[in-house]
Amino acid sequence: MTQRPDLLPRHDWTRADIAALYDLPLDSLMARALEVKRANWPDGKIQKSQLLSIKTGGCAEDCGYCSQSAHFDTGLDAGKLMPLDEVVTSARRAKENGADRFCMGAAWRSLKDRDLPKVAAMISAVKAEGLETCVTLGMLEDGQAEALKQAGLDYYNHNLDTSPEYYGTVVSTRTYEDRLETLGRARHAGIKLCCGGILGMGESREDRIGLIHELSKLAPHPESVPVNMLVPIEGTPLGQSAPLSVIEMARAIAVCRIVFPQSWVRLSAGREGMTEEGQAMCLLAGANSIFVGDRLLTTDNPDADEDAALMKDMGLEAASHKDMEHGRNKVTLIG
């Protein structure tokens, strides 16, 4: 007896393969994604994650979607690194509200050695609260990833954002190779990767396919793949972007679920602008984690009552990463 290969991770995806998935009729695509999800993850369960901005604004990067860039006038004031006790208080509150994963983001081009001990202390303190930990701190230099790992870090978030071809339209201060290098440093230190992208930045479907293809080339695959819908911010170059359809968002999530069968696929930014039905479609497409709390760094997010109603209507139960990963269904066998 062998495991069905179409339900397991593979690293030989081509752009043509991924394009063929993308072009399937939506019902066929979602049915396939659901089959993959059921083969690798327990039914009816979802992980709640919460994201905290530990240092807001004043970033030297010019990412065209970001309110925190010092290059754009968005009305956001730059702040200092948050004190440790405030981070711990936020983490405890997140856990009380059902979050199992706590992410900390700092608006930096790169992590400075002088800030490393403070961030390491935050990671250790949040880990001590029984939460899975994730940080996004910009680019990493030699030795920094190892220090973060020693502090107890589970995941490092560093998105590719979009395809290599479209990337230069969005960012000019950091190259695609810079991003891949940081991912490599985190991986070498034994940290799991949280790496995805943002949809709705004016890119084509071919660019969305290109993004997923680039992620599929990482070996092993990122253990976490966040799929964000652009939240246009006034004052940024992408502030007037046309909205992406929820159907296109769900299509991308379904493709990610098929290509990354054993990775978390996280329905991330953009839920605030979706109807309950739109969010349900994205979850049915294969997402198995959502970000909760009223803010995602600097953008709005649905409140706790809305999330509770959504989960009740869908019959979903919040679960820990341990329960979900250890309770994975056995992949279908063929003889």
User: Which candidate in 38, 92, 101, 103 is catalytic?
Assistant: 103
Beta-bridge partner residues of 207: none
Active site (annotated) includes residue 195: no
Amino acid found at 231: V
Active site (annotated) includes residue 282: no
Q: Answer whether 297's CB lies under 8 Å from 257's CB.
A: no
User: Which candidate in 32, 66, 179, 195 is catalytic?
Assistant: 66
Q: Could you give the C-alpha distances from 73 to 64, 137, 215, 262, 296, in angstroms and in order? A: 12, 22, 32, 40, 20
User: Which candidate in 32, 59, 101, 195 is catalytic?
Assistant: 59
User: Which candidate in 194, 195, 256, 282 is catalytic?
Assistant: 194
DSSP string covering 196-220, please? -EEE-SS--HHHHHHHHHHHHTSSS
Where b means 16+ CB within 10 Å and e means fewer, 202-231 reads bbeeebbbbbbbbbbebeebbbbbbbbbbb
- Return the structure tokens found at 63: 């990412």
- The burial class, CB within 10 Å (0-12 / 13-18 / 19+), for 121 is middle
User: Which candidate in 185, 257, 266, 271 is catalytic?
Assistant: 266
List the alpha helices (DSSP H) in the chain: 15-22, 26-40, 84-96, 116-128, 144-151, 164-170, 176-188, 205-216, 246-259, 276-284, 304-314, 321-326
Active site (annotated) includes residue 266: yes
User: How far is C-alpha 28 from the geometric centre of its chain's CA atoms?
Assistant: 25
Active site (annotated) includes residue 59: yes
Q: Could you give the C-alpha distances from 15 to 20, 25, 151, 255, 315, in angstroms and in order? A: 9, 18, 38, 12, 35
- Return the structure tokens found at 245: 């359809």
Hey, which residues are catalytic here? 59, 63, 66, 103, 134, 194, 266
